[in-house]
Structure 1
Amino acid sequence: MKSINPPELLRTLYDAAVARARPEVVMGEHLPPPPKGRTLVLGAGKAGGAMAAAVDALWPREAPLSGLVVTRYEHVPPAYRAAPGRIEVVEAAHPVPDEAGRRAAQRIVELTRGLTADDLVLCLVSGGGSALLSLPAEGLTLQDKRAINQALLHSGAAIDEMNCVRKHLSAIKGGRLGALCAPAQVVTLLISDVPGDDPAVIASGPTVADPSSCADARAILQRYGIAVPQAAQRGLDSGAFETPKPGDARLAGQVVKLIATPQQSLEAAAARARAAGLGAHILSDEIEGESREVGKVHAALARAVARRAQPFAAPCVILSGGETTVTVRAAGGRGGRATEFLLGCTLALQGEPRVHVLAADTDGIDGVQDNAGAVAGPDTLARARALGLNARDALERHDAYPFFQALGDLVVTGPTFTNVNDFRAVLVL
């Protein structure tokens, strides 16, 4: 095995994971043939711009193609921004929706009018679509949706819980968009950012039948103590906000394909590690829980490998994915799931020799900051103390971003134009 630079190696693994999920890499094998009628492309998500660009490049030039996709601000690939193609891409806010997203969702609804059985609707869906495709249910305002969304983000609720609520307070998600497209053929192409890769959860499943209920959404709001406007409460209590269910005739015959998943990206990173002469072990692509606590568990596993060669022998890389959460207990901090995980992990490791860790989000944005994540090693806490930084205080304030920024250990990639959620790599030499 060659000499290893731990931060460089970890970054290489992250890059391999992201590359495996790029739309231009995975799109081609999943596209259906052109229909007898026209092809309409609709979609939303952090990868939406790149997915639209990939479809536009691959679709026959002689075949009719049009549509509208909404993505996050600054998430349109530069080449497509400079030379837009046949599919319009608009930008909106994430993770809290804004008026641009509401207008885009309304336009998408309008584009579904007049579709026939000869037409094809390609729905391009990726993580982030819940906030980007925000069209409030009847009687609700965008400000209502913003307030509820913000409360969910701070509550510590899991992604499937958040999306259950979002579906039932929406006029477009939870299968409603798919129903609007009938009688056209609908093919939904998904990049998964959720544990378990459930199409009904990814971006709140705009084209997918929803097995959850208004009662489920109401229970989640009660569980986390989230108040909602009277109009929302009435809609949930009465069942007026119920979503299309499995077996709904409007969704019959629709095709749903997962074109990129967290597991595939972890496998790509593992292959890169093995090529470098390291053992590589994937814990799971479905890890959830409080970020700092998940960090402690990863630290305990790394110590067991380093000290006892259990359950794996060093040198090796331990990989995991999923979607952790941060329950915000102190306002004003700057950070996201990845850096909070890393701070919790680093504190638990206490300078354990030979252990290096990278945690980053595959979309290139950790929370709302400009970094994807950060790296840490055996000297992180000592370097922090030399700069007068207190890691435990930073963790309690949810202030991991300035902590790792001061150390020069942030991982900054800019938007990656895809999203298969959390990526974590623990290197034990």
Structure 2
Amino acid sequence: MSAALHDPRAFLCHLYDTAVQRALPALNTAAHLPPPPDTEGPRRGRTVVIGAGKAGGAMAAAVDALWPAAAPLSGLVVTRYDHVPPAYRARPGRIEVVEARHPVPDEAGRQAAQRIAAMVQGLTEHDLVLCLVSGGGSALLSLPAPGLTLEDKQAINRALLKSGAAIDEMNCVRKHLSAIKGGRLAALCAPARVVTLLISDVPGDAPEVIASGPTVPDASTCADALAICRRYGIALPPAALAGLESGAFETPKPGDPLFHGHQVHMLATPQQALEAAAEAARAAGVEAHILSDEMEGESRVVGQVQAALARAVARRGAPFAKPCVILSGGETTVTVQGQGGKGGRATEFLLGCAIALQGQPGVHVLAADTDGIDGLEDNAGAIVTPDTLARAAALGLKPPEFLDRHDAYSFFAALGDLVVPGPTYTNVNDFRAVLVN
């Protein structure tokens, strides 16, 4: 038997840590940096760094460390509260990093977006803009469209988060109600050259979806955004409704000359993180299978489906031979009914999975968000073991009741099964590992 199977918890946490490590900006930025502009002569230019996302602090630190000391560098990046790497916080570099709220925007995010918009005014064709974009940027880079207030954006964001809408649907609405996302930030940078460095947290790795694509063209339309709001019953203030119905809030489209000469580079993706975890599993003597890096749907339902797969492997050795670990990523959703409890996508997935597993022997499951934070809590996720339901029963806990009120965090906290790594300073979305032995 593989040594990894003697301590399933430690093994699953090792796979999670390996996936996160693969997505760290410090390891993935150097190969994608362009040369600095000329520092002398008629083509002399500046380099301005802007950006937003949960990985923003770590991306800024990586660029600052790699950029030539003699080449001018300045800028502003916004990240989530407590997501600035400790070393950069203690000793800031040439790129200023500020913090704001996620997933619902706040005044700090609005002010940061306003400062970034002002910072890129008056650039020339000899200047270079490095835009550092990662998941979470939609909320962190919040500059409402004309006629909208921050309070409007907050209300719409809260409604979207509870609606069960997929991430591409949410970001379609967000970018059309923004003065800076959906390619509009690139327009503000003109005529400077823009190089966008991305860390993907979305199924399919579409640049226009990651953080609502502030510097890339957008093929979606105001009509699309309006249809999404109607589909999920999202109430819109009069200015938002008028802007979408009239097309006044339309975004720059593919083929627009303002994007000519711009470059987009993907630093890290969910698939790469899963492949790194699979290699680590095989190195430990456990076969690994990647289902998909694009799994979506209701978290509890995806948990039930993966539980059914795990039971089939455990009982019949099909479709995979055991021992094995089954990996997946993507972005599931939680449609909140009523007030809602504490928890996020990962813990709701796990509670649905635990109930469906029915204490199946030999199955351990870890699910965690790669940014280190599941929803609004202090955990990345949690772990399910074969005795999860038995231990819950001994404590008088009724799993279906916790699931009904979306309170999976409290369930796993009571069992001592939360995974709490703290902020990881990157974000390639959900990570799920099902170990069957």
Q: What amino acid is the match of 1:270?
A: A
Runs of 4+ in 1 over 2 A off after TM superposition: 1-4
Question: Which letter does structure 2 place at the counterpart of 1:60?
Answer: P
Secondary structure of the corresponding residue to residue 245 of structure 2: helix
- One of 216, 226, 236 as aligned partner of 2:224: 216
Residue among 26, 29, 35 paired with 1:27: 29
Deviation of residue 308 (structure 1)? 1.0
Which string of whole-angstrom CA distances, capped at 9 and with x for unpartnered residues, describes residues 139-173 of structure 1? 00000000000000000000000000000000000
Q: Which residue of 2 aligns with 1:271?
A: 279
Q: Show structure 2 runs of 5+ residues with no match.
A: 39-44
Task: Give the conservation status (yes or no) of the 8 Å contact 1:18–1:265.
Answer: yes
Deviations 1:256-301 (A, max 9, x none): 0111000000000000000110010000000000000000010011
Matched-pair contact (CA < 8 Å) for 1:330–1:398 = no
Match of 1:360 in 2: 368
Q: Which of these residues, 250, 265, 279, is aligned with residue 258 of structure 2?
A: 250
Q: CA deviation at 1:332?
A: 3.8
Q: Which residue of 2 aligns with 1:408?
A: 416
Deviations 1:14-49 (A, max 9, x none): 000000000001111111111121100000000000
For residues 349-390 of structure 1, give each alpha carbon's deviation from its aligned partner in whole angstroms, at most 9, with x where no partner exists: 000000000000000000000000000110000000001111
8 Å contact from structure 1 (residues 330, 396) kept in 2 = no
Q: Which amino acid aligns with 1:26?
A: N
Q: How many residues align?
A: 429
- Secondary structure of 1:85's partner? coil
Distance 1:170 1:189 in 2: 21
- The offset of 1:4, in angstroms, is 2.2
- RMSD over aligned CA atoms reads 0.6
Question: Match for residue 114 of structure 2?
Answer: 106
Of the candidates 135, 141, 144, which is equivalent to residue 136 of structure 1? 144
Aligned to 1:280: 288
Q: Name the residue aligned to 1:325.
A: 333
Partner of 2:208 in structure 1? 200
Show the 5 A alignment for 1:116-127: 116-127=124-135
Give the TM-score normalised by structure 1. Answer: 0.99
The residue type paired with residue 125 of structure 1 is V
* Cα shift readout 1:382-428 (whole Å, capped 9, x = no counterpart): 00000111111000010000110010000001000000000000000
Q: Does 1:158 align with 2:166?
A: yes
Paired AA for residue 30 in structure 2 = G
1:90 shift after superposition: 0.3
Letter in 2 for 1:21: A
Distance of 2:311 and 2:389 partners within structure 1: 16
Structure 2 equivalent of residue 306 of structure 1: 314
Equivalence for 2:42: none
Tell me, yes or no, if structure 1 residue 394 matches structure 2 residue 402.
Answer: yes
CA distance in 1, matches of 2:263, 2:364: 42
2:41 is matched with none
Instruction: Find the counterpart in structure 1 of residue 378 from structure 2.
Output: 370
* TM-score, structure 2 normalization: 0.98
Equivalent residue letter for 1:342? L
Q: Which runs of 5+ in 1 are unaligned?
A: none
Q: Which residue of 1 aligns with 2:387?
A: 379
**Secondary structure of 2:311 counterpart:** helix
Indicate if the aligned counterparts of 1:363 and 1:417 stay in contact, CA closer than 8 A: yes
Quote the Cα distance in structure 1 between the aligned partners of 2:367 and 2:173: 28
Amino acid in the other structure paired with 1:260 = A
Tell me the CA shift for residue 114 of structure 1.
Answer: 1.2
In the aligned structure 2, how far is the partner of 1:118 from the partner of 1:125?
22
Tell me the residue number matched to 2:68.
Answer: 60
